[in-house]
Amino acid sequence: ADKYEALVMIDESHCSGFIGKTGRGTHEHFNVMDRIDIITGTLGKALGGASGGFTSGKKEIIDMLRQRSRPYLFSNTLAPAIAGASVAVLNMLSGTTTLRDKLESNTKYFREKMTEAGFDIKPGFHPIVPVMLYDAKIAQTFAAKMLEEGIYVIGFFYPVVPQGKARIRVQLSAGHEQHHLDKAIAAFTKVGKELGVI
């Protein structure tokens, strides 16, 4: 960016509230807080909202985006209840890292145990965990069988992900206790063996 005098924009939809020492996102995690010009994200994940998102940056950038961004110009306003809930979550997250720390612990535990069980887990530290199955039909069948086991997960396949990269996406939460994770891991293992995945 420095070489070409470019602005740096990051999409924090899967990072706000999760990643970084205080949950501020990848820019906090990689210690580049002062190097980012535009941050976008969603209110639908860690911030607890059912819809909506945000774009943040310097006033001059935001003013320009407000005038030129068609999605902004032709969108309905965010419901006050969603905005209020998101602000409350931000205040809660800025007061303590307890939930973020628990989510980090849950994520590490789940990733380790699933790998030990023989699943191909995309590397990382993120609480949205891709369990790679590669085949679209297997991903669909796997998700259906997991629901029969009382575990709701979603199979992702082309065109959502590249062909041959089908997966189950697991979204972990600070609300999960270890017995919840163990139940999910046991169900994954059972279904994985039934379908010949592991």
Q: How far is CA 148 from the centre of its chain?
A: 24
| Encoded tokens for 55 | 């774009």
Q: What is the CATH number of domain 9-95?
A: 3.40.640.10
Q: Is the pTM of this model over 0.85?
A: no
| Encoded tokens for 67 | 């005038």
Dihedral of the alpha carbons of 87, 99, 174, 25, in degrees to the nearest 10:
70
Instruction: Note the pLDDT of residue 185.
Output: 99
Q: Which residues of the chain have pLDDT under 50?
A: none
Residue 166: which H helix or E strand, with range? strand 166-171
pLDDT, tens digit, 9 for 90 and up, residues 177-196: 999 999 999 999 999 999 99
Helices (H), 69-153: 70-73, 80-95, 98-116, 136-148
Instruction: Note the pLDDT of residue 13.
Output: 86
pLDDT, tens digit, 9 for 90 and up, residues 35-57: 999 999 888 777 766 678 889 99
| Residue linked to tokens 């039909």 | 137
d(CA 18, CA 25): 7
d(CA 115, CA 196): 16
Please state which CATH class domain 98-194 belongs to: alpha beta
The residues spanned by each domain of the chain are 9-95, 98-194
Say if residues 187 and 195 touch (Cβ distance below 8 Å): no
Residue 128: which H helix or E strand, with range? strand 128-134
